[in-house]
Amino acid sequence: MNKKKIVAIIPIRKNSQRIKNKNFLNFFKGKSLLELKIEQLKKVKNIDEIVVSSDSELAKKISKRYDISFHAREKYFASSSCSGSKFFENLARCIDGDYLMYCPCTSPIIKQKTYNLFLNKFESIQYKYDSLNTVSILKSFIWKDNKSLNYNSIKAPNSQDLPNNYFSLTFGINIISKKNMIKFKNIVGKKPKFIVLNKLESTDINDKTDFKIAQMLYKKTFA
């Protein structure tokens, strides 16, 4: 049986919405989130190719310096006008690989052993599930339309006793076949397998406060 090609994709938008140029700012010892993510992925076993997908010339230059592939994203697919589903479908069509591993820069504190464990897990479940995705357990009192969703509000439990079957996608590591990413227009399949990350590795950067907190956590973890 021929080995299936696994391609790690790092998505980058030139004009990030909430933090200007967040993927290119100095994050740790003069290196940006993009540079650190590339260095992380270069150390991961079983990845056949790393591709930066972006509309940014700076991202293209950084990719060339690290000797990895670059996908020039069309303007529409890098805009806020493009839905997530359209973006995922187009991205999958543009990348040459059997399995696509989606790894945003905004999850910088995922450890090397976690990447390796993730891919080892994928080897064992790929024929039973159609995607493997990192999540965190959502331990919150969740309400919708004036109704509690995950607990009985008349018999409210302690927070530690809330159920463990509500998850939040961290988007840290995601792997799905190219075929299914096109079919489902998503990085999550119809029958996904979830890998629960701890709170540290679930760190996600969305705003300036997240960026500063992630910097401190990264320094404490990797310095």
For residue 164, name the pLDDT band (cuts at 50, 70, 90).
confident
Q: Average the pLDDT over 28-52 and give the result.
A: 97
* Predicted TM-score of the model (pTM): 0.93
Q: Where are the alpha helices (DSSP H) in the chain?
A: 33-42, 57-65, 84-94, 112-125, 178-184, 208-222
**For the segment 93-150, what is each residue's pLDDT rounded down to a tens digit?**
999 999 999 999 999 999 999 999 999 999 999 999 999 999 999 889 989 999 999 9
Q: For the chain, which domains are there?
A: 6-222 (3.90.550.10)
- Cα 41 to Cα 50: distance, rounded to the nearest angstrom: 8
- Cα 107 to Cα 91: distance, rounded to the nearest angstrom: 20
Nearest alpha-carbon partner for 100 in 190, 189, 196:
189
Identity at 20, one-letter amino acid code? K
